[in-house]
Amino acid sequence: MSDPVIHTLRLAQGLRDEMLVHLIREAPNEGVGILAVDRRAPLATAVAFFPGENIDASPTRYTMHPRDVVAALDTIAERGWELGAIVHSHLKGPATPSRTDIGEAYYPDTAMVIVSLATLPPDMRGWRLETRDGETVIRTVHLEAVPSGLVSSDEAVDSQPA
C-alpha cells in the first residue's frame, strides 16, 4: 500500500493544457475537475483529467456536480488509478488555498491543484493539508512538468469518462 500523501505530482504538458482550457472556459465562474494518478509513493503521475461542472455557478466557490464526481471516481477505480487531486481555479486571487478551500477539503488524502487566472500565464500550484495537534498545516505539493509523451499510450485515456 502506498503512502497516501502526495509530495510530488508529475503532470504532462498535454494534461496541464487540458486543465487550463477547461478552467478558462468556465470563467466567469470557478472551474473544477479531478486528476487521476498512477502512484509510486511519494511520486504520483497524473494520467487523466476529468473536467466538472461547477453547480455553484460562482466566481468564488465551487461544488463539482455529483454526477461528474461519481463518473470520474468510477473510471478511476475501473482503471486501477487513484484520486490524486481536486483541481480548481481562482479568478482574481493567488493560486493558494483560501479559507473556504481549507474548510471544504473533503478528501484529506488528496492534493489540491489551484490555478490562478489572475496572471498571464496562469499560475498553477499544488497543495496538501495536514492536521497536527488539531491545527491544519498547508504543505506544498511539487508540480513536476514532464513532456506529454512520458505516459505511454496504453495508460493514457481520453479524459471523458466512458
- Residue 29 falls within a domain, yes or no? yes
Q: What pLDDT, on the 0 to 100 scale, is given for residue 151?
A: 54
Residue-wise pLDDT for 15-50, tens only, equals: 999 999 999 999 999 999 999 999 876 689 999 999
Cell of 57: 455557478
Q: With bands split at pLDDT 50, 70 and 90, how would you rate the model's confidence at 2?
A: low
Q: For this structure, is 30 an active site residue?
A: yes
- Residue 159 falls within a domain, yes or no? no
**Contact indicator for 54, 22 with CB cutoff of 8 Å:** no
Cα(111)–Cα(3) distance, integer angstroms: 13
Q: Is 76 exposed, middle or buried (0-12, 13-18, 19+ CB in 10 A)?
A: buried
Residue-by-residue DSSP string for 104-138: T---TTSEEEEEE-SSSSPEEEEEEEEEETTEEEE
- Residue 21 falls within a domain, yes or no? yes
Residue-by-residue DSSP string for 23-82: HHHHTTSPPEEEEEEEEETTEEEEEEEEEE-BTT--SS---B-HHHHHHHHHHHHHHT-E
Residue-wise pLDDT for 78-112, tens only, equals: 999 999 999 999 999 999 999 999 989 888 779 99
- Residue 51 falls within a domain, yes or no? yes
Q: Is the pLDDT of residue 153 over 60?
A: no
- Residue 113 falls within a domain, yes or no? yes
Can you say how many angstroms the Cα of residue 117 is from the centroid of all Cα atoms in its chain? 15
CB atoms within 10 A of CB 81: 21
Q: How many independent structural domains does the chain possess?
A: 1
Cα(107)–Cα(44) distance, integer angstroms: 16
Domain containing 39 — which CATH number? 3.40.140.10
Q: What pLDDT, on the 0 to 100 scale, is given for residue 99?
A: 92
- Residue 23 falls within a domain, yes or no? yes
Active-site entry in 26, 30, 53, 82 = 30
Q: Output the pTM of the full model.
A: 0.88
Range of the domain at 117: 8-148
